[in-house]
A and B are shown apart, each in its own frame.
Chain A
């Protein structure tokens, strides 16, 4: 079992470029999350999904879009990257409502020049 995987691991973009980050899980978890982690800020929730076909905004959703067309995949899109989006992005999953633990992917390091 791979658990939670993220693609790509690293990426450098120029301002204005677009890209999609892919999160895939083989744990059959209902809930999936996208976070960004910046120095001194902790993990901040961007968007999340409580099931296939559903998405919702988190704490810092501006500049990002998401889709959950299949239960196992959660995509995070940047339509027009900005230097402020330079960060480490983590995907996480959890089994369902009330679950205590979230399981994280290895992260994607994104630099926007």
Chain B
């Protein structure tokens, strides 16, 4: 079983739609959580960190449920430019150096 699991998608949604991705992690020692974005054939880039109380950045909202060990990302009012792969990432308490990446959820926003 992978330590970080994501639905690979693709999620195909029209512009303006709201879409949500979930991610589950198996190691309860996971301490920090992030969403990275990766455009086709490009490098990953940090989208946002995920805080215990939940956090919002514009159209993006991230939530963390430690009891159920899942993280979510909600995108409101989808834009064509949101089309990308979204990587769920965790850092374990026992290793501050290393990040564990999920294999990503692909989002396609159509006109």
Interface residues of A (CB under 8 A from B): 31, 33, 35, 40-45, 48, 50, 58, 90, 97-98, 100-102, 104-107
Contact = CB atoms under 8 A, between A and B. Distances in A.
Nearest to A102: B99
B64 to A, nearest CB: 14
Interface stretch (B12-20, B38-46, B54-62, B68-76): B38-46
A100 B32 contact: yes
Which secondary structure dominates where chain A touches chain B?
loop
A105 B43 contact: yes
Interface in B85-111: 87, 96-99, 101-104
B44 A48 contact: no
Interface residues of B, number: 21
Residue from B32, B42, B43 whose CB has the most chain A CB atoms within 10 Å:
B43
B21 interface: no
A80 B62 CA distance: 43
B34 interface: yes
Nearest to A97: B96
Given A31-B97, A45-B98, A48-B98, A90 B103 contact: no
Give the 9 A-B residue pairs with the shortest CB-CB distance, closest first: A42-B103, A104-B43, A43-B101, A42-B101, A101-B46, A97-B96, A98-B96, A104-B44, A106-B43
A90 B43 contact: yes
Contact of A41 (B42, B46, B97, B103): B103
B87 A43 contact: yes
A6 B45 CA distance: 16
A43 B44 contact: yes
